[in-house]
Amino acid sequence: MKYLVIGKTGQLGSALIHDLSTTSNEVLAPNKSELDITDKQSFLSAMKEFQPEIVINTAAYHNVPLCEDHPLEAFQANCLAVKDMAEITSEFDVWFVSFSTDYVFDGRKGEQYIETDVPGPLQIYGLSKLAGEFAAISYSKSIIIRTCGLYGFQGATSKGGNFIEKRIKDSKRLSLLEMSNDQTVSPTFTSDLSKAVLKLVDHKSKQPGIYHLVNQGFCTWYELTEEIFKILDISIKLIPVDRKGLTGKMRRPLFSALKNEKAANMNIDLPHWKDALKRYIRSKHLE
C-alpha cells in the first residue's frame, strides 16, 4: 500500500511513520514546506505525483488557547483544509483519515462519550474540529478519529513538549506543584494510537465515519501526574486544584473521556492508560 502521511514531525505523525517503516508499505511524508494543508494546490500536486492509496492527516492547529485568539487560522487548518483534502481524496477514490478531539463535547454527560453522542464544543478549537468532522464525513471514503490527551516520544512542538515531560521537569525545579483535578480525560500514548489507526485502516470491514481511539480508562490531570511521580519514585507535594475547566475565559469540558465503541466491535482496542504510561516512562526514562 502507498501511504501519504501529513504532519511527520508531530507526536502522532512520527509514531505512524515509525510503525509504517517496519512494514512493506511505501510511505511519503513531506514536511510543511513541501506540503501545506492550507494550500489546496499543494495537496493536489502531492496526490498527483505520489498517487497514494491512503492519506493520513495528523496536521492541525491544536494549541487550544491560541485558537481563541486566532479563529480564522484555526478554521483554515481544522476545517477548510480538511474539507479540501477529503474532497480531493474522494476524487482520487482513496481513503482519507484525519483526527478530531474530545473537545467537540461539552463534558456534561459525566461519563465516557461514544461516537453517536451529540457534540457541543465550548471553545473555538472544539468548534473548528467539529466543523472539520462534518466537512470530511460528507465524502464517501473519509474516516475521522477522535482521540484525547496525546503524549508521545516526539512531543508536541506547538505546546512545548508533552504533558509527562513537563511534569517531570516541574519536579526538578519545584517542591510543590498544583495540578488541575477538575478535568477528566483519556490520556493516550501515540505509539498505541498509531498501531490502532493502522489496524483500522487495514480492516476489511472498515466504514467511513467517526471512530474513537484512546487508551482505556480515564483520570484527571492530577491523577495522571500522581501516577507519573509514582512510577518514577519522585517525591513532591502535589496539590489538586479545581479550576472549573477555565483557562482565563476559555472553557474546557470537565469530563471528556472517550470510549472506543465502534473500533472495539472490530476487535481493535488500546491498552489501559496506566499500562501505556508505564511503557512510555520505562522506554524514555528507565532503560
pLDDT at 274: 98
- Per-residue pLDDT tens for 190-245? 999 999 999 999 999 999 999 999 999 999 999 999 999 999 999 999 999 999 99
Q: Is 108 helix (H, G, I), strand (E, B) or coil?
A: coil
Q: Who's near 100: CB < 8 A, 6+ residues apart?
A: 129, 130, 132, 133, 144, 145, 146, 147, 210
Q: Supply the pTM of this predicted model.
A: 0.96
Q: Is 219 helix (H, G, I), strand (E, B) or coil?
A: strand
pLDDT at 98: 98
Q: Is 197 helix (H, G, I), strand (E, B) or coil?
A: helix
> Phi, psi at residue 15, to the nearest 5°?
-65, -40
- Per-residue pLDDT tens for 60-112? 999 999 999 999 999 999 999 999 999 999 999 999 999 999 999 999 999 99
- Per-residue pLDDT tens for 242-260? 999 999 999 999 999 999 9
Q: Are 213 and 196 in contact (CB under 8 A)?
A: yes
Nearest Cα to Cα of residue 47 among 21, 86, 103: 86
d(CA 207, CA 165): 36
- Per-residue pLDDT tens for 24-55? 999 999 999 999 999 999 999 999 999 999 99
Q: Are 188 and 150 in contact (CB under 8 A)?
A: yes
pLDDT at 287: 73
Place of cell 474540529: 129
pLDDT at 81: 98
Average pLDDT in the 20-26 region? Answer: 96
pLDDT at 157: 61
CATH of 2-161+186-218+257-272, one of 3.40.50.720, 3.30.420.40, 3.40.630.10, 2.30.30.240: 3.40.50.720
Domain ranges of the chain: 2-161+186-218+257-272
pLDDT at 238: 98
Where does residue 266 rank: exposed (0-12), middle (13-18), buried (19+ CB within 10 A)? middle
Q: Are 258 and 214 in contact (CB under 8 A)?
A: yes
Residues shown for the chain: 287
d(CA 59, CA 9): 9
pLDDT at 41: 97
pLDDT at 158: 58
Average pLDDT in the 259-276 region? Answer: 98
pLDDT above 90 for 173: yes
Average pLDDT, the chain: 96
Count of beta carbons in the 10 Å neighbourhood of residue 39: 12
Where does residue 132 rank: exposed (0-12), middle (13-18), buried (19+ CB within 10 A)? buried
pLDDT at 286: 86
Nearest Cα to Cα of residue 100 among 136, 71, 72: 136
